[in-house]
Every structure is written in C-alpha cells, then in structure tokens.
Chains A and B, each alone.
Chain A
Amino acid sequence: MTMSASVQNKCEGVGIGLRSAHYQDILGSLPDIPWFEVLIDNYMNEGGYPLYYLDQISQHYPLSFHSVGLSLGGMEALEQTSIARLKSLIDRYQPALVSDHLCWTAHAGLHSHDLLPMPYTAEAVRHVAARIDQVQNALGRRILVENVSSYMQYQCSDLSEAQFFAEVVESADCDILCDLNNIYVSASNHDFDAMRYLEQLPVSRIRELHLAGYEDQGRYLLDTHGEAVHAPVWALYEQALQRWGDTVPTLIEWDNNIPAFSVLLAERDKALQISRRISGDPVCA
C-alpha cells in the first residue's frame, strides 16, 4: 500500500490526532486537515479493521507516527519485535515524522503502559541518548522525542527537566516534539517557569508541537488529554510561536472522552487563529 501520488509526505500547519471514533467522519467527508498523527501502538497487530482504516486514511493525508511503547529511558533491552514491526509500518506508510517519549514504561518484566518520568541526571542523559541512537539506527531515520507530564520528582535529580531534555537531544542527535500542555502541567506541578523552559530548548531541533487538555485535581494538574486546551496553554502556544515562528507543525491531541470530530476542528481553528495572528496573515472567521 502506498500513498496516492497527490499526497505529499509532509506535516505542515495544524494536524489532528487520529482516533478510531472519527474514521467515518474523516473518510466520509475528507475534511481539510493537513495531516493526522497516528498512535502507532494501536496498529502493531497483523491485521483487522485498524490497519484497514489506516490504509484508507493514508491515501488522502500525510501521517506522523506517535509511539508510546518504546520505553526509550528504560533499562530493559529494547523490544526488537516492536522495533521491527514499527520499521515495517514506517516502510509501508512513509510517515513524515516518527516520535516517542522521554520516559520509561517497563522494568523487570513489569509493564506500566504509562509514561514514567526519568531522573534528571548525567547518567540518565547518557543512558537514554544511547538508546535513542540505537532506535534511530534500527529505524534508519531520525526520531522526535517528546517531554512528558510529570507528578513526581526524584531526590537524585540534579538537572532541571529542560536542561535534561536539551542535553539528551543534543547528545542523541534527535529532534524535539515539544508538548506545551505537558510543560504547563509539569511547570505547575513542580513550580517552574514554563517560558523559561522553552527558552532552554535548542530551537533548530523542534519539529512538532502538541496541544492538549489537562484536568485540575486541586493540588495538582493531571494530564488527561480528555478536555479542550486550557487558556494558559493557548497563551504558552502564542509565546512559543512568537519565539520560534509559526512554521513548526502543531497537533491537537485528544485521547480520552473523545468528542465529536467537529470539536477537534474547532480546536484546530483556535490554533490557526493564533498562528495567523503571529504571522500577520488575515484571520479567517
């Protein structure tokens, strides 16, 4: 299966996270969306409807692959079967971007299926950078690494999260997927300045931005990806675009309590308005 000749293998502008609840909306009306991000872990099986729909959608839209399962920061050997499967899906669909997270997910044979934070130390930088390098070599391409939301800080951390992130991507020579919601959530939970965080990232490596919604639990913010993007995250987005320009592709991410597709389109429109405001383009209503 290959993309139809008219589909450019490129992620530009504001894309939307592909969710199974919206397959029919997308294929039924082929909305004007520049690209979709695929949670590739949901397509790692050998067949069935998920891959059937991915085939269909890939014929009309450029894709990015977003993984949650490589456990880049983990101590266990990288899952060779998963990497081989990911490579075969990359060969088949030729996504414009491939990403996973700056975290670990499993240890000693136990899997959390969650994005667990790493300690921010020089040892951890060396460890995760070497593994990212291994993955990039195995896949034969650069990957983007995304910052995660966190609720826990380790005693042993002696770098800030932003320093850690910057050192990892330089050392691994990989790109950045900067999740602004995650930065805001962690900044609020751990009392650091989100803008100061952005200033510490190497601009030339930022290839994608994520926008999503969190839940206010009172004493902390929980990154649920189950709500609309909150005002402070929109504000951070505006500041980020002012700093980096509006050429970095942005994704609207919504993973839980999936709403009607039109709600995601409205979020996309908000992002476009901010982006146009920054670039000085006329804002379409």
Chain B
Amino acid sequence: MLETLYQQVIEGIYHEAKDPPAFVEHKQTLSAAEQLGIYRDSVHGNLVIALGDIFPAVKEALGATFFDAMASRYVAQHPSRSPRLDDYGEHFPAFVASFEPLADYPYMRDVAQLDWHWHRLFHMSSPTVVAFDSLATLAPAQIESMQLGLIPALVWIDSAYPLEKIWRLSRFPEQAASTDSIDLNEGASTVVVYRFGLDTLVTSIDPLCRDLLIAIKKRKSFGTICEELGSKCGPEQINQALATLVQHHWISELIVDTESSGNA
C-alpha cells in the first residue's frame, strides 16, 4: 500500500496528473489536487532556488525573472535523482546551451559550466601540494622520467569567448567599474577553476599552460611532454609554463624514478 501511495505522490509532484489524485482526501477549503499542488509548488520552487544558488553568475547575467522561468522549465524536465541537493543541476549548462531564447547568448553555457565547477570545487577538501624545492636536487635523467600529478580540485574550461571576464562581471558586479565592457570577439580563452586552501579561485591561462595541464593529466613523463610540446616552443617556455602551474599550487604529486638517479 505504501509503495503505491508513494509512487502516486512522487509522480503527482514531478508530472502533473490529468485527474485529481484519488488518494488524497477532499476538503472544503482545499481540493485534493490543490493539496498535492502545494507540494508540487514547494518542490519545484526549492529546486529553482537551488539552481539560482548554484548558478549565480547565470542568474545575475539574465536577471532573476528570466532565470527563474528557465530554471522552472529545467526542473520540469529534470527531476532530482540524488539525495544531495548539491548534486542538482549537472545538466543545466547543456540545457542553457540548447535553450532557444538564449540563442543570441552562445557564451552562457560556458558561464553556467564555470558556475557549476565553482560550486563542486567549493565543497571539496583543501588540496595538498608538493614542495618543489627538491627539483633542483634531481639528476637530468630523473627530470626526464618524472611524472607530475594535478590537485583533484582543478578543472579547466575551453571557451570561444573571454570567459573569465564575462563570468566576473556577473559573479562580482560590485567589483566591476561602470565603464567595464567586454569585447565578445576578443577570442578564445581557457579558464581554470581551482581550490587554493579553502578558497575557490578562477584564472585564465595561455594555450601552452593548457597543453601542459592536459599532458600532465594524461600522466606523461616530463621528457615526453617536452618532446611533444617541443614542436610548438622551446624548453625555456615549457619551464616557464611549469613554473606557472607550480606557482598556482596546482601540482600535488611528483613521482621520481630513484633508479635513474646519477648522484643518489
């Protein structure tokens, strides 16, 4: 009996039924459909609020009225499937990308993606980073074969637009000067969202740093990375890019082959 009842209630909440719910008692003040409707409104309303909290830059960019109407359509198509409200909204960036009224705002999907990753990283553990003082003590063969690891709380987004600028303008409007304007044709960019201690940070990186992040993620040895990137730039630039990654505290692991040490 409970099984059937719960099935009817949850269906009534997520999919509006044509017939009044027979399992609810009719009252003088509220019909059965109205009683169930209070729960439908409450569940939908809470999910719309949750989306606004998770996607603050999108909400700010589009305005609350437009955002809430769009979020409401999303909720109707995407019931929550996780016990954690923090998991809700995973498909929202794709929904934004295909949302017809936003056809003239092709960058909004990237803004949504940045908001989403920011939200996910906000709740992760503070990363531990590797001390790089040891690099100077390594033999050339060890540097060739060393493998690096990235902190888990790091994501990069490739965008055809100046994404960091667009996102900051919406996420922190109070920090923007009234004269700030963005040239949407400025060109493509790569934005990194990451944790530094408890803080969730956002920064843009150049194409070489991006290539380096990809290669490190694929667990390639530093020698292989230098060989592959060598066609695009010199060793100095690769070292410079690695220094950028280290300075941002993105490297969590340094695996060195002790066998190939020349001076151990």
Known: A50-B123, A222-B38. A108 touches B7 (CB 8 A): yes
Q: How far is the CA of A157 from the CA of B8 in the complex (A)?
A: 15
Question: With a CB–CB cut-off of 8 A, which chain B residues contact A82?
Answer: 83
Is B35 in contact with A153, judged by CB distance below 8 angstroms? yes
Known: A47-B124, A151-B39, A219-B29. A113 touches B85 (CB 8 A): yes
| B1-55 at interface with A (beta carbon < 8 Å) | 1-3, 5-7, 9-10, 13-14, 22-25, 27, 29-30, 35-36, 38-39, 42-43, 46-47, 50
Is A113 in contact with B123, judged by CB distance below 8 angstroms? no
Q: Which residue of A is nearest B24, CB measured?
A: A152
Is A152 in contact with B3, judged by CB distance below 8 angstroms? no
- A residues contacting the other copy or chain, number (CB 8 A): 42
A243 lies within 8 A of chain B by Cβ? no
Question: With a CB–CB cut-off of 8 A, which chain B residues contact A152?
Answer: 24, 35-36, 38-39
B222 lies within 8 A of chain A by Cβ? no
| Of the residues A49, A154, A219, contact of B23 by C-beta under 8 Å | A154
Q: How far is the CA of A107 from the CA of B124 in the complex (A)?
A: 28
Q: Which residue of A is nearest B87, CB measured?
A: A111
B232 lies within 8 A of chain A by Cβ? no
Known: A127-B2, A154-B24, A155-B25. A111 touches B81 (CB 8 A): yes
Q: For the complex formed, measure the closest distance between the CB of A74 and the CB atoms of chain B, giving whole angstroms.
A: 7
The 8 A CB mask of B76-118 against A (1 = contact, 0 = none) is: 0001111111101000000000000000000000000000000
Q: How far is the CA of A265 from the CA of B78 in the complex (A)?
A: 40
| A75-98 at interface with B (beta carbon < 8 Å) | 75, 79, 82
Question: With a CB–CB cut-off of 8 A, which chain A residues contact B261?
Answer: none
A285 lies within 8 A of chain B by Cβ? no
Question: With a CB–CB cut-off of 8 A, which chain A residues contact B23?
Answer: 154-156
| Of the residues B14, B24, B36, contact of A155 by C-beta under 8 Å | B24
Q: How far is the CA of A74 from the CA of B42 in the complex (A)?
A: 19
| A35-59 at interface with B (beta carbon < 8 Å) | 41, 44-50, 52
Interface segment among A118-126, A172-180, A266-274, A276-284: the answer is A118-126
Question: With a CB–CB cut-off of 8 A, which chain A residues contact B156?
Answer: none
A46, A47, A119: most-surrounded residue (chain B CB, <10 A): A47
A237 lies within 8 A of chain B by Cβ? no
| Of the residues B7, B25, B85, B88, contact of A107 by C-beta under 8 Å | B7
Q: How far is the CA of A142 from the CA of B222 in the complex (A)?
A: 55
A104 lies within 8 A of chain B by Cβ? yes
B72 lies within 8 A of chain A by Cβ? no
Known: A107-B7, A153-B35. A48 touches B122 (CB 8 A): yes
B260 lies within 8 A of chain A by Cβ? no
Is A109 in contact with B81, judged by CB distance below 8 angstroms? yes
Apart from A47-B198, A74-B6, A112-B43: 6 A-B pairs, beta carbons within 8 A: A45-B86, A48-B122, A75-B2, A113-B46, A124-B2, A156-B23
Q: Which residues of B contact A (CB under 8 A)?
A: 1-3, 5-7, 9-10, 13-14, 22-25, 27, 29-30, 35-36, 38-39, 42-43, 46-47, 50, 79-86, 88, 122-126, 198
